[in-house]
Amino acid sequence: MGLSGTLAWTIGSLIVAGAIPVLQVIRRTPMKSLRDAL
C-alpha cells in the first residue's frame, strides 16, 4: 500500500470517527425539534 492509500485510510477513519457521534445525536433528537433548531 502506497502513500496515497495510507492517506485515504487516515482521512476515511477521521470522517467516520467524526460522523458517529453526530449520527448518535441526530438519532436521539426528534426530527421536529431538529427542524425548529434550524
pTM: 0.49
Closest CA to 26 of 13, 11, 38, 10: 38
- Residue-level pLDDT at 24: 84
pLDDT tens, position by position, 5-26: 999 999 999 999 999 988 888 7
- CA distance linking residue 19 with residue 24, whole number of Å: 9
